[in-house]
A and B are shown apart, each in its own frame.
Chain A
Amino acid sequence: GQSLEQPSEVTAVEGAIVQINCTYQTSGFYGLSWYQQHDGGAPTFLSYNALDGLEETGRFSSFLSRSDSYGYLLLQELQMKDSASYFCAVRGFQKLVFGTGTRLLVSP
């Protein structure tokens, strides 16, 4: 089977840096994706790692270590609008398998 673990909630203040970790157990692994979802909204794609290392996209960076079955999403210069749920998702050949999500609360 497939399972992903991520913290249920993380809190931080504006301007800070936060890291959301994700560990996974899966077969048929092609890569790790990260999605953001605001309350009542659709998941929106943030980043994808197929290979080990760090991918940077603006204020967001994502890291993958395939040998450790581990990845993280790093959010810098936090803004209030970053308050949302963040999901890691294992990308298999046909589909995404999502974790249960991390709720990020950014306070002033």
Chain B
Amino acid sequence: DTGVSQNPRHKITKRGQNVTFRCDPISEHNRLYWYRQTLGQGPEFLTYFQNEAQLEKSRLLSDRFSAERPKGSFSTLEIQRTEQGDSAMYLCASSLVQGGNNEQFFGPGTRLTVL
């Protein structure tokens, strides 16, 4: 257990529905990242926050995806009008940027299945 928690752990939804995932990072960590991982691939970067500011978004993050970190603590990732191609593991990671150290600690992930 890295101290990063994600909820729910599993989500099954029908195509076209909206889903929202939550990530609670390690409390003193100022950076929070979202990644997506499909079977047999490495995690792919989606977006990251420094405190409450969203500083970068991947081109993988279509307009149907939105992420927030309103108080610089927990974060939510919402997917609107889900598609079958959205089925993946969504991973959250957090880090404390301090000097040169930026080690990222990953949560257990939310596995999304879109039927």
Which residues on A are within 8 Å of B, measured CB to CB? 30, 33, 35, 41-45, 48, 50, 87, 89, 91, 94-101
Interface 1/0s, chain B 9-42, versus A by CB < 8 A?
Answer: 0000000000000000000000001000000111
Q: Once the chains are docked, how many angstroms separate the CA of A45 from the CA of B45?
A: 16
Q: Which residues of B contact A101 (CB under 8 A)?
A: 40-42
Q: Which residue of A lies closest to B50 (CB)?
A: A94
Q: Are A100 and B108 in contact (CB under 8 A)?
A: no
| Residues of B in contact with A, size category | 20 to 34
The one of A30, A94, A100 that contacts B42, using a Cβ cutoff of 8 Å? A100
The one of B42, B56, B102, B106 that contacts A42, using a Cβ cutoff of 8 Å? B106
The one of B33, B105, B106 that contacts A95, using a Cβ cutoff of 8 Å? B33
Q: Once the chains are docked, how many angstroms separate the CA of A57 from the CA of B3?
A: 22
List 7 A-B residue pairs with CB atoms under 8 Å apart, sorted by A's residue number.
A42-B2, A42-B4, A42-B106, A44-B106, A91-B102, A95-B33, A95-B56
Q: Which residues of B contact A91 (CB under 8 A)?
A: 102
Q: Which residues of A contact B108 (CB under 8 A)?
A: 41-42
The one of B43, B55, B105 that contacts A98, using a Cβ cutoff of 8 Å? B43
The 5 closest A-B pairs by CB, nearest first: A98-B42, A42-B106, A95-B45, A43-B106, A42-B108
A97-B106 contact, Cβ under 8 Å, with A42-B2, A50-B100: no
Q: Which residue of A lies closest to B105 (CB)?
A: A45
Q: Once the chains are docked, how many angstroms separate the CA of A105 from the CA of B55?
A: 39
Q: Which residues of B contact A99 (CB under 8 A)?
A: 42
Q: Once the chains are docked, how many angstroms separate the CA of A31 from the CA of B44?
A: 18
Question: Does B104 have its Cβ within 8 Å of any Cβ on chain A?
Answer: yes
Q: Which residues of A contact B43 (CB under 8 A)?
A: 43, 87, 96, 98
